[in-house]
Chain A
Amino acid sequence: MSALASGSTAMGQATAAGPSYTAPTTVDDVIAAMATGSRVVAGGTDLVVGSRQGRWPVPEHLVAIHRVNSLRGIRPVVDGGLWLGATATHGEIAEDATIRERYTALADASSIVGSRATRNVGTLGGNIANASPAAETSGPLMCFGATCMLESRNGRRELPLDELFSGPGRTVAAMDELLVSVSLPAQPAGTGSCYARLEYRRQMEIAVVGATAVVTLDGGQITAARVAITSLAPTVRRVPEAEAALIGSTGDRAAAERAGEAAAAASLPIDDVRAAADYRRAMAAVITRRVVQAAVDRARGETVSIPASASLHGAL
């Protein structure tokens, strides 16, 4: 996980000469270190990898957060929602029984991040703070209405996840703000969800196109729907037109196709080494359609294995 990326202040404050490292056990100590310019490191799977690729140096001043107990864990909260500490790993999320049952799309996402080794140390907080337009967990979190808690010496603030991202690799969090936790509200009964991505290989992929759907069925009709697209715009984003296309429908294939078309229309795909823009746009429709159908199936209580990606590619 990287330090919380920032669009505001480019440079940390001056500190004592030479590199520094602390590994405190409390949030107070972490934010104190951040206040003097230290950057956060958790699993290193973005921060250190980025440095090895020459994208940035490993920051000179580091505060490691893996020893902070209060940043760990996944816990139900009283109103039926879920609290996830910033250092919850993808491995923990993928295997958490509550997430697999009630926030299935998030389990879909975390279970396909990198390899098992990456999932062992890669954290939810890092995945969010790095603000990649290809981040697997962002779509599911957004669709579940996640909020994130930021904390600095100036206090705490909570903001919806879809207000956090300001561009590729950029967030509205200040340099000295620590992402402490993520909260997911309770989902209504009859909710099903799915995240999937296009996968050239069966493992070790990155989202070239990804989509999330969270739908609530009541009496055979979709009463609530949330759809997000991944790797199809500068940030992971919701697609209100796709959601509108689903509400009131039975979640049949025609509705799923309309949602897919809306997702394609809302995408701003790029041509790059991974795919051509026209292919990406077409896949936005296909993958969105499939995750909607899988979410509907799950809402009906049918089993779609986790991760969904593996089974959605033409039931391969």
Chain B
Amino acid sequence: MKYSATLRVNGFSYPVTIEPQRTLLSVLRDDLELTGSKEGCDDSECGACMVLLDGEPVNSCSYLALQTLGREITTVEGLSTNGDLSPLQKAFLEAGGVQCGFCTPGMLISATALLARNPRPDDEEIKASLSGNLCRCTGYTPILAAVRSAVEMTAG
């Protein structure tokens, strides 16, 4: 049977009726049509699907949608407020941290969670925290620079 449920995504409540086997990623993309979270692999290796679940990063491709009931989901679409880019989003643009853009949503999610728990991470912590997000374009170097720059913008 299908289950009716309400998902909390980016501060909104979305009613859905879904089979229990559905992953959070498929519900976000196909039912809610929030396609910012991407599907890049089938073994939770690439991180393109990452979202925040109560503020912590989760690979939405391997998490069941119904298990998120009562919890707050944030996708890349929820990172900017009223059209204002977050410091990380701005830094990614200015430092050349975006090329093809397919890994960008997951990178931003990982980086957002990192800065929330430690506003002043060093390079090693940035690298370790973002290593679950694969990028094929940038060689990561400009992404590291972007996170550093966002740290400077926010941590002062």
Query: Do any CB atoms of chain A lie under 8 A from CB atoms of chain B in the complex?
Result: yes
Report A's interface with B, CB cutoff 8 A. Answer: 18-21, 23, 41, 43-45, 48-49, 51-53, 57-58, 60, 62, 64, 66, 91, 114-118, 120-121, 202-204
Chain A residues whose C-beta falls within 8 Å of the C-beta of B129 in the assembled complex: 116
The number of chain B residues touching the other chain, given as a range, is 20 to 34
Q: What CA separation (Å) do A272 and B112 show in the bound complex?
A: 38
- Can you list 30 A-B contacts (CB < 8 A)? A19-B19, A19-B20, A20-B1, A21-B20, A21-B66, A23-B67, A45-B44, A48-B23, A48-B63, A51-B21, A53-B42, A53-B43, A62-B21, A64-B67, A66-B67, A115-B59, A115-B131, A116-B57, A116-B129, A116-B132, A117-B44, A117-B57, A117-B58, A120-B56, A120-B57, A120-B58, A202-B131, A203-B128, A203-B132, A204-B131
CB pair A62–B132 under 8 Å, yes or no, is no
Chain A residues whose C-beta falls within 8 Å of the C-beta of B133 in the assembled complex: 115
Q: Write the B75-117 contact mask toward A (1 if CB under 8 angstroms, else 0).
A: 0000000000000000000000000000000000010010000
Known contacts A18-B1, A49-B43, A116-B110; is-contact A41 B67 (Cβ 8 Å): yes
- State the 6 A-B residue pairs at the shortest beta-carbon distance, nearest first: A115-B132, A21-B20, A203-B131, A58-B21, A48-B62, A117-B57
Known contacts A21-B3, A53-B43; is-contact A121 B63 (Cβ 8 Å): yes
* CB-nearest residue of chain B to A201: B131
Q: What CA separation (Å) do A121 and B56 show in the bound complex?
A: 9
CB pair A114–B67 under 8 Å, yes or no, is no
CB pair B69–A23 under 8 Å, yes or no, is yes
B47 contact from A23, A49, A51, A117, Cβ within 8 A: A117
B39 to chain A, nearest CB (A): 9
Chain A residues whose C-beta falls within 8 Å of the C-beta of B21 in the assembled complex: 19, 51, 57-58, 60, 62
Report B's interface with A, CB cutoff 8 A. Answer: 1, 3, 19-21, 23, 42-45, 47, 50, 53, 56-59, 61-64, 66-67, 69, 110, 113, 127-129, 131-133
* CB-nearest residue of chain A to B59: A117
CB pair A204–B64 under 8 Å, yes or no, is no
* CB-nearest residue of chain B to A91: B56
Q: What CA separation (Å) do A69 and B118 show in the bound complex?
A: 28
B42 contact from A52, A66, A204, Cβ within 8 A: A52
Q: What CA separation (Å) do A49 and B19 show in the bound complex?
A: 17
B28 to chain A, nearest CB (A): 15
A204 contact from B3, B45, B58, B67, Cβ within 8 A: B45
Known contacts A44-B64, A64-B67, A118-B44; is-contact A204 B20 (Cβ 8 Å): no
* CB-nearest residue of chain A to B54: A120
Q: What CA separation (Å) do A58 and B20 show in the bound complex?
A: 9
B47 to chain A, nearest CB (A): 6
Chain B residues whose C-beta falls within 8 Å of the C-beta of A117 in the assembled complex: 44, 47, 50, 56-59, 110, 132
CB pair A48–B57 under 8 Å, yes or no, is no
Chain B residues whose C-beta falls within 8 Å of the C-beta of A62 in the assembled complex: 20-21, 64
Chain B residues whose C-beta falls within 8 Å of the C-beta of A58 in the assembled complex: 21, 64
Chain A residues whose C-beta falls within 8 Å of the C-beta of B62 in the assembled complex: 44-45, 48-49, 52
Chain B residues whose C-beta falls within 8 Å of the C-beta of A52 in the assembled complex: 23, 42-43, 61-62
Q: What CA separation (Å) do A226 and B143 show in the bound complex?
A: 43
A63 to chain B, nearest CB (A): 10
CB pair B1–A121 under 8 Å, yes or no, is no
Max chain B C-beta neighbours (<10 A), residue from A44, A64, A91: A44
Chain A residues whose C-beta falls within 8 Å of the C-beta of B66 in the assembled complex: 21, 23, 64
Chain B residues whose C-beta falls within 8 Å of the C-beta of A121 in the assembled complex: 53, 58, 63
